Structure 1
């Protein structure tokens, strides 16, 4: 009797697996047949939002369906990431995100409601969003060294805003490496943080180039340096933080992920279409104007990169002395 029951269970399990494979194949063959939703962990007007809207226009044309962008800012991107992680793995709800949700949050937040590896399917990395240090123009400093001197002269007088994990970790890293006392003022997203820096209520912030560049060009923010160790091709005249604060090297990546267990054929299709868009010279140029260094690769390369970034950001956050909140 027990052996018969075991045989029945094995047959049932095999049948279920076969049915799932057939269903997955059918899904991939007909994909996509309706609108796709791209969920973003940041507010409208952020760097991720701006670049995603450009890419999504062409992705919509390539796939022949509409693409809806849904901004779910809040909780350091955890709201958006959790929403996608719990969505059906059918390719119709995707996350366009950065290192905030998938590299930094595991080491910044005590109660993370998703696993950055197990709960997601990597689809395509789309490039890097370099950050830069900007200050209110009324602050009498034109270089990072001059800003450090001011902060050392008046400890605790100067503050930095943050609207993302990259900005938060960059600010803490700057304070530690430069040996200065800065007040951290966190925000839900970058646009309102920038508003307060421009108004002079906050002294400075590290901001992604796409979001900050229009304000720099309008002369309402003063740029001092980029956060990458090498100069940015997007801002060749701007020095690096490492020129003054040795060892400073932080950048932000961007990419597309879906819920775990997405059909392989759907992932391959999405990756191929996204890469075609990213590799077009005209799109690269338009993304560069928005402050993004665009490039891509395979889902497997993106998966390996994500795991490497978790190791890197664990060290960055530990070295900055940031405790989980």
Structure 2
């Protein structure tokens, strides 16, 4: 029944978006777009990974479009504040939304009510990068490998705690997916912010942390890495195994990508896709993203639309099977 409702909603959303796009003036065809700055709404504070990535892309994108690209940070409420602002922005081709999988694929499955709809209110542009999570532990913790951790958790169910950014966050759901696949029961301790300080101090045994923040701490010796969520090992941490090496089929990477308000004309969406993908293929941009521990992508519109649908379904199953819900 749930799948039927989702399918009908998706069809209605696509029809509404198509109607809006048909009604919109063909600004690109008239040569009138862009004639003013492009705004990129980033639903996080300055300095965190999606903001940094947006700033890497914004300068070459501005050159390609011939207009400034202005970043508008709207942090708060697990990204919901920024998503609502983006969803309600005019579909005139002057708003981009840089977002992540937790906002578009996890939040809709966890929060009982949201002021935005992933499929009704947005049109995908391109997936920018994959964002691995690194399973980190303190230097003095007992587990030398992921295999050791799983063995200890199996021997004493409920005896191992892990921290996360909060209920329904990316680190929470990827850990629960690992719990399910390994048939273990580690105990979730949600934080209002990052648990890394407690992990480094040995007060919290472990956590999944985005690669952008985890890698420098691992390389400095302040944390130890047990595994990474990518299907394969990361070039930034070649000695750290993928979870999938022990649990085949595991894939817990997050991602970053651009969307636009649903009513944005199709020709402008296509132009955004073309120019952003070109930027992502530039060697300097790729190097800077890889140095952050990310994997550059640059997908087609249709490819990213499929990723969005698949991620929604994937994390919906994890949320449901682990009773991850937030009343809102």
* TM-score when normalising by structure 1: 0.83
User: Could you say if the C-alpha distance between residues 94 and 196 of structure 1 is closer, same or farther in structure 2, counting changes exceeding 3 Å?
Assistant: farther
Query: Is 1:171 paired with 2:155?
Result: no
User: Could you say if the C-alpha distance between residues 195 and 38 of structure 1 is closer, same or farther in structure 2, counting changes exceeding 3 Å?
Assistant: farther
Aligned mates of 2:126, 2:89 — CA distance in 1: 19
User: Could you say if the C-alpha distance between residues 84 and 46 of structure 1 is closer, same or farther in structure 2, counting changes exceeding 3 Å?
Assistant: same
Aligned mates of 1:159, 1:57 — CA distance in 2: 39
Query: Is 1:183 paired with 2:197?
Result: no
In the TM superposition, residue 27 of structure 1 has moved relative to its aligned partner by 8.9
SS in 2 for 1:283: helix
User: Could you say if the C-alpha distance between residues 133 and 24 of structure 1 is closer, same or farther in structure 2, counting changes exceeding 3 Å?
Assistant: same
Structure 1: 5+ residue runs without aligned partners?
1-16
Query: Is 1:159 paired with 2:162?
Result: yes
Matches within 5 A, 1:86-125: 86-125=88-127
Query: Is 1:85 paired with 2:103?
Result: no
User: Which residue does 1:12 correspond to in 2?
Assistant: none
SS in 1 for 2:31: helix
Aligned mates of 1:166, 1:193 — CA distance in 2: 13
Aligned mates of 2:54, 2:93 — CA distance in 1: 17
Structure 2: 5+ residue runs without aligned partners?
1-19
Aligned mates of 1:28, 1:271 — CA distance in 2: 19
Aligned mates of 2:55, 2:200 — CA distance in 1: 25
User: Could you say if the C-alpha distance between residues 62 and 233 of structure 1 is closer, same or farther in structure 2, counting changes exceeding 3 Å?
Assistant: same
Aligned mates of 2:219, 2:236 — CA distance in 1: 13
1:176-214 residue CA offsets vs partner (Å, 9 max, x unmatched): 44444433233455xx33334334443221122122111
1:53-85 residue CA offsets vs partner (Å, 9 max, x unmatched): 211222122223322323333322211111100
SS in 1 for 2:267: helix
User: Which residue does 1:253 correspond to in 2?
Assistant: 255
User: Could you say if the C-alpha distance between residues 277 and 19 of structure 1 is closer, same or farther in structure 2, counting changes exceeding 3 Å?
Assistant: closer
User: Which residue does 2:290 correspond to in 1?
Assistant: 288
Aligned mates of 2:322, 2:99 — CA distance in 1: 23
Aligned mates of 2:187, 2:75 — CA distance in 1: 23
User: Which residue does 1:25 correspond to in 2?
Assistant: 27
SS in 2 for 1:145: helix
Kindly name which structure, 1 or 2, has the bigger radius of gyration based on alpha carbons.
Answer: 1
Aligned mates of 2:249, 2:266 — CA distance in 1: 40
In the TM superposition, residue 317 of structure 1 has moved relative to its aligned partner by 2.6
In the TM superposition, residue 309 of structure 1 has moved relative to its aligned partner by 2.0
In the TM superposition, residue 256 of structure 1 has moved relative to its aligned partner by 0.3
User: Which residue does 2:306 correspond to in 1?
Assistant: 304
User: Which residue does 1:141 correspond to in 2?
Assistant: 143
In the TM superposition, residue 109 of structure 1 has moved relative to its aligned partner by 0.8
The structure whose residues are more often helix, as a share, is 1
User: Could you say if the C-alpha distance between residues 93 and 19 of structure 1 is closer, same or farther in structure 2, counting changes exceeding 3 Å?
Assistant: closer
SS in 1 for 2:117: coil
| Displacement over 6 Å in runs of 4+ | none
* TM-score when normalising by structure 2: 0.83
Number of positions where the alignment pairs a residue of Structure 1 with one of Structure 2: 306
SS in 1 for 2:195: helix
Aligned mates of 1:19, 1:246 — CA distance in 2: 45
